[in-house]
Amino acid sequence: MLHETSAAAIAIFSAFVLGVVGLSFWLGRRKQSAQAYYAAHGEVHWFVNGVAFAGDYLSAASFLGICGMIATAGYDGFLYSIGFLAGWIVALFVIAEPIKALGRFTFADALDARFNSRGIKLAVAISTLVVSVFYLIPQMVGAGSLITPLLGLPHAAGVVIVGVVVTLIVVTAGMVSTTWVQFIKGSLLVLFCGLLTGLILTRGFALHGGRPGGADLAPQVRTVRPDGSVLVNGRPQSRENDLRPVGTVVKLPDRFAGTSTGPLSPLEFLSTLEDSTVVTWSATKRSDADGVHTTYSPVERKGADLLKPGGSFKGLTTGRLADRLDFASLMLALFCGTASLPHILIRYYTVKDAAAARKSTVVGIAAIGGFYVLTLYLGLGAMTSGALDPTDSNMAAPLLARTFSETLFAVISAIAFTTVLGTVSGLIMAGSGAVAHDLAENVFGMRMTDHEKVRCGKFAAVGLGGIAIVLGILFKSFNVSFLVGWAFNIAASANLPALVMLLFWPRTTKQGIIAAVTVGMVSSLAWILLSADTFEKVYGLSREASIVPFSQPGLVTIPLGFAVLVVVSLFTNGRGSR
Amino acid sequence: MSSPRPRIRRKVAILFVRHSIDLELLDSHLVSEERGRAAGAPTDAAGCHGERAGPAGMLSPVNPPHHDDPAAVRRARAGLTLFFLYVVLYAGFIGLVLVRPEWLSWRPFGGVNLAIAYGLGLIAAALALAAIYMAACRWADRRSSR
């Protein structure tokens, strides 16, 4: 579908960017200590830190991706929400307090606290950089692909804007400005999703998206010709001849006599949808001499089927054991990965003490959990709004907002784009700490004054910002959404076993930790590179050629990390390894 | 290939065992800690084998924090108990999705099906357990400051 450029969206986004950059310069106006740059003086209020957790964690993938997935596949998008939130339980109950007490600036500090080993710092710094870069690439590519429909600018512009703005935020005041940007983004996201949910519930459901019915069930064809021009239903694409928006309710429960339900309570909304019939769509592609034809066919589905698992994870319905294990593996990685993501862990060093770390995690859980409940309503609201673009599920939330008002569309588009800023600044900050504090200072033993440490961190941030821009442009045409899954899997397999065993098993040795981090990182990476998903989506080979039984490594590599740590620790125990 | 159900049961059993080991470990720290204090001895909790980080020193002291402080042991124990409770809820959900998906269509909650109710319930449970944990931490801190 063609999207109009919204001047209001660009204005709101520009105002936001100028605002946060101005704020960053103001926060960074004084000379900074390393403690200020890397840990915001350790004086951030727990409530601010809690909301900043939400701003750090809720990436574009969480907001646009999950909304889009719920809008197209129903319940399965919500499964991701459940897994993403469950990970915070590990963070709160197991990790929060000790990591605060053990570390100073980075996750490597905490893992190394008992041993003072350069090997641990090196291994952990590398795993931090690998996880951060893998997390960074989809954010940057996402920024590029979002900016075209949201603000009407080209891909590279989106990547460069995000890269430059984020580098400015990090370089001006480090963790202080990063915290405030994440706080602002987190609050805006939750507030406006709440507002949108309120509007959805007040409107209720209307047959055929509130339009005269009848056209819902006609298929549409989009053709991309060899010269790059686009046809819709056989004629050139234009404002007058564009794909019809999709996603409508075609039958309401009998208790509603008219064409709409009127206002519904949150529970009524769900139960009404379950008794309704909804038209979603499926896409099939074929190529011939005239170009690539994609047919979007309407599919009539019972609400009750959309609100149970299996819409997107086909393995849940086919019953193949490997497919089910794949799903279990994904849910395990989401559960274990959150609490080992470096950009989340460094937020624990910005608060005063362990009690503040705890309180801020609870605030984070409330904000993030609330947000995921809201996205369920946003996704289902979008699915039935009659406004969706069949070619781009990421646009579900903004297009839903457009059915209420153009202003709301502008605001939601601007916020969607700023979600990228908050997460990327957290990632650059984590990477900057790994390069300057862990690698340069602790591994290579560069002696630095406090001021030099800050400068080194800022150089690292500029370098990482540049790398992020280059990667964001290079990976433009790759399918990068799976990289977030990689990041979670690597974090869960490399970092979590080391962290948990260090805390709860007194016989852990430094060799055990180094081995667990290295093996966890390498094995999960290798598994992913050999998996059916990667064969199909990255190499363009057939799924059957893959040699691992299922795509998600967590179920195998997380226990492997634990096993390696135990075995190596037992072998090296008592050799003066402490 | 075995069916997934025994696997899940085995996993739960393993978690049970691991959890009780953790608790025992913590208990032993707690007991030795209190014994040590009662005897007026300097506390170097059991299980730490005196591996204080030595002179190395760029970083501050160095044992896992809950080995030194009885309130921290109690907090850690509360955290692990609640963590385990959530693991059971979460594993139960995934088990249902994998093994008894048809149960998820059951609609006991005012027309909302079990899939949605359990999912929202997991989010609510996370918040509820977090609140309980905060209360438990306050209790632990008060008790040890007496």
User: How close A140 comes to chain B (CA, Å)?
Assistant: 29
Confidence of residue B40 (pLDDT cuts 50, 70, 90): very low
Query: Would you say A397 and A382 are in contact if contact means Cβ atoms under 8 Å apart?
Result: yes
Residue A435, pLDDT score = 87
Q: What domains appear along chain A, each with residue ranges and CATH number?
A: 7-12+39-204+316-572 (1.20.1730.10), 208-313 (no CATH)
Give which of A466, A469, A462 is closest to A432, Cα–Cα. A462
Q: How far apart are CA A49 and CA A363, in angstroms?
A: 8
CA–CA gap between residue A181 and residue A228 (Å, rounded): 40
CA geometry: angle A350, A351, A357, nearest 5 deg: 120
Q: For A576, which residue in chain B has the nearest alpha carbon?
A: B51
What is the model's pLDDT at position A437?
86
Residue in chain A lying closest to B138 (CA):
A355
Sign of CA dihedral B71, B76, B77, B83: positive
Distance CA A420, CA A17 (A): 12
The pLDDT of residue B67 is 56
- What is the Cα–Cα distance from A332 to A325, expressed in whole angstroms? 10
**Could you identify the residue written with the tokens 């890269």?**
A163
Q: Chain B residues with CB inside 8 Å of A79's CB?
A: 97, 119
A355–chain B Cβ distance below 8 A for any pair? yes
Are the CB atoms for A331 and A483 separated by under 8 Å? no
Check CB contact under 8 Å for A324 and B48: no
CA distances from residue A77 to A66, A71, A74, A107, A223 in whole angstroms, order as listed = 5, 8, 6, 31, 29
Per-position DSSP letters for A65-113, written without gaps between them: IHHHHHHHHTHHHHHHHHHHHHHHHHIIIIIHHHHHHH-SSSHHHHHHT
DSSP A443: I
Residue ranges making up the domain that contains B31: 4-145
Look at residue A557 in the predicted model and tell me its pLDDT: 94
Residue type, A460: A
Give dist(CA A351, CA A43) in Å, integer. 5
| ipTM of this predicted structure | 0.89
Q: Which two tokens stand for residue A461?
A: 């941030």
Domains contained in chain B, number:
1
Q: Bridge partners of A230?
A: A224
Token digits for A288?
A: 């011939």
Mean pLDDT of B74-96: 92
pLDDT at A478: 67
Q: Under an 8 A CB cutoff, do A93 and B83 touch? A: yes
Torsion sign, CA atoms A66, A523, A92, B121: positive
**Report field, pTM of the whole predicted structure over 0.90:** no
- With b for 16 or more beta-carbon neighbours within 10 A and e for fewer, the A252-277 pattern comes to bbeebeeeebeebeeebbbbbbbbbb
What pLDDT, on a 0 to 100 scale, did the predictor assign at position A216? 67
Over chain A (578 residues), the average pLDDT of each successive run of 10 is 77 89 88 83 91 90 85 90 92 87 83 85 90 87 80 86 91 90 93 95 86 71 86 83 84 84 90 90 86 88 87 74 87 90 90 89 94 95 88 85 88 85 91 87 83 89 93 77 78 91 88 93 90 79 82 91 94 65
3-state secondary structure of A250: strand
- Decide if A292 contacts A229 (C-beta within 8 A): no
pLDDT, residue A574, reads: 66
In chain A, which residues have their Cβ closer than 8 Å to the Cβ of B123? 81-82, 85, 369, 372-373
Instruction: Choose the closest CB to A102 out of B65, B75, B83.
Output: B65
Nearest CA in chain B to A366: B127
Task: For A183, list phi and psi in degrees, rounded to 5.
Answer: -65, -50
